[in-house]
Amino acid sequence: MNSSMMGNRLKRIMKREQVSAYEICKDLRIDPGNFSKFIHGKANLSLDKLEMVAGYLGYDLDFVKRDRSRKER
């Protein structure tokens, strides 16, 4: 999943959970500029920060391996 897809997914979750980017950045002490770039697909966040944001929103980060990649189908 690329950063643009992750950013879009995060925006949907934030809307569902009714949490603003401002609240996340303030409470987790994340740089608002970098966070904005991430949710707009222009930058990446470290795994540590992604885990912090996921936990804050009540989500887990899971890595799932498919049997075959989409390319192989």
d(CA 52, CA 65): 23
Looking at residue 68, its pLDDT comes to 59
CATH annotation of 3-72: 1.10.260.40
d(CA 13, CA 54): 10
- Quote the tokens at residue 53: 């944001």
- What does the pLDDT look like over 10-21, one tens digit per residue? 999 999 999 999
d(CA 23, CA 10): 14
Indicate whether this model's pTM tops 0.75: yes
pLDDT tens for each residue of the chain, 73 residues long: 677 888 988 999 999 999 999 999 999 999 999 999 999 999 999 989 999 999 999 988 875 545 555 555 5
